[in-house]
Amino acid sequence: MNVPDANIIARDEDGMLTPAYVHAVALAVENADGHELRALVKGLHNADLADLMELLGPDDRQGFIRLLGDDIDFHVLPELDETLRDEVLEELPTKAVVEAVRELESDDAVYLLEDMHSDEQQKILKQLPESERVALKRSLDYPEDSAGRLMRSEFVAVPPFWNVGQVIDYLRQDETLPADFHEVLVVDPAFHLLGAVALNRLLRTKRPVRIEDIMEKDIISVKAVEDQEQVAYVFEQYNLLSAPVVDEDGRVSGVVTIDDIVDVIQEEVEEDIHRLGGVGDEELTDTVWQTARGRFTWLAVNLLTAVFASYVISLFDASIEQMVALAVLMPIVASMGGNAGTQTMTVAVRALATHELLPVNAARVIGREAMVGLLNGSVLAILMGALAALWFDNTGLGLVLVVAMIVNMLVAALSGILIPLMLERLGVDPAIASSVFVTTVTDVVGFFAFLGLAATWLL
């Protein structure tokens, strides 16, 4: 039996888990050595423990969960990606899941429950105290990826007629208050939001002063049904640490905090990158079948667009037969256009997501991208045209290549920004479909321009 090295270093100087440490953990799991495994993971931060579980293979991961058993800190569950979270929850008995839901803050508890089958979800909710059950069901009733799903139901609220001393005493004495909060909300008897007082201002004010005299009235709140991406934009725009969440009647339902928004921002950026590449919401812990299924759809769409581009080429098969150089050079025209279009599209999609590209400045940005495409296209086309003329000893062919590249890179720049704008206007996520359309346009225009000009001028 192999024995793990007791002197293994868990993290390197960059704070990353070391390969030797991960191997030692896997070895302890392989040996079914629970004592050694507990010694290795003792003191590991929950975020690092989640990373460790994601780095283990599927078999080692299941053994890891079984060996640790009740020693697994439930606070590690919200740190796991969705696929791995569901895998871990399946290994845990219902009693342990109920305990986890009770121990975690409400937003993290919702994260555990939201993707469960309804019957399993109800089974767990029934075992919770009524107050906790009602709060969780209310959050689960909101749309997925909304502020209502993201919020914590626990928050601190006081009436406006209390004075500072009463509020401070309340904060010290009430053991049911949330562990972390940044401000005290001020509400009326129906829990309509009136204002808020930051903790630093509260502590710096004398005890007899009434709360309504020091509260900030013009506070920024978010609606419970608001999409989490828009909530993240509000936090970024106004440098918020937290924001109250209100229902359709203006009553406070919960609070969204900056730690959740950081996760949202990372999730949205990752989602945009995946969608631009034609990849679904996959994780590295997904199975081969899950990954292949998620990627198949857009690969099939790309296949159809490739067939269309091939059809355009077939229209000029006689021209290609007469001049083999056309077959050699036409991928250059298409690929340069594709790369230019992808550059513009990436910038446009991200600018739309961050609300930097709006109708008020769209015309200016479109003009800028057109000029960039024209400038880069002209320089690169002249260089490539000169090389083609020398390569095939044909000045006319070089000129055709110059014109075709300029046209295609200009069209690529325009399509890279106009297509995302059009999809946004139609209510379609531009990150999902832009790449397919931009690639199709640049391929078709590139082939048609190059082969069409060659057929007209050279043959």
Buried-exposed string 155-184: b where 16+ CB fall within 10 A, e elsewhere = bbebeeebbbebbbeebeeeeeeeeebbbb
In whole angstroms, what is the distance from residue 47 CA to residue 49 CA?
5
In this predicted structure, what is the pLDDT of residue 5?
53
Q: Report which residue type is found at 179.
A: A
Place of tokens 């555990």: 112
Question: What integer pLDDT is reported at residue 7 of this predicted model?
Answer: 64
Q: Is 29 exposed, middle or buried (0-12, 13-18, 19+ CB in 10 A)?
A: buried
Contact 278/295 with Cβ under 8 angstroms?
A: yes
Digitized pLDDT (tens) for each residue of the chain, 459 residues in all: 454 455 678 777 877 888 888 888 899 989 988 888 888 888 888 888 888 888 888 778 888 888 887 777 788 888 888 878 887 888 778 888 888 888 888 888 888 888 888 888 899 999 988 888 998 999 999 998 899 999 998 899 999 999 999 999 999 998 888 888 889 999 999 999 999 999 999 999 999 999 999 999 999 999 999 999 899 999 999 999 999 999 999 999 999 999 899 988 888 877 777 776 766 666 766 777 777 777 777 778 778 888 888 888 888 888 887 788 888 898 899 889 888 988 899 889 888 877 788 888 999 999 999 999 999 999 999 999 999 999 999 999 999 999 999 999 999 999 999 999 999 888 888 877 788 889 889 999 999 999 999 888 886
Residue 285: the pLDDT is 67
DSSP 93-134: -HHHHHHHHHHS-HHHHHHHHTTS-HHHHHHHHTTS-HHHHH
Which residues make beta-bridge pairs with 146? 227
| Sign of torsion over alpha carbons 180, 186, 192, 193 | negative
Q: What is the pLDDT of residue 1?
A: 47
What is the 3-state secondary structure of 380-443? Answer: HHHHHHHHHHHHHCCHHHHHHHHHHHHHHHHHHHHHHHHHHHHHHHCCCCHHHHHHHHHHHHHH
Domains along the chain?
Answer: 19-147 (1.25.60.10), 157-259 (3.10.580.10), 288-457 (1.10.357.20)
- φ and ψ at 174, to 5 degrees? -80, 115
Half-sphere exposure of 47 (CA within 13 A, CB side): 4
Longest dimension (CA), the chain: 95
The pTM of this model reads 0.72
Alpha carbon distance 71, 85 (integer Å) = 17
Q: At what angle do helices 34-41 and 19-30 cross, to 10 degrees?
A: 160
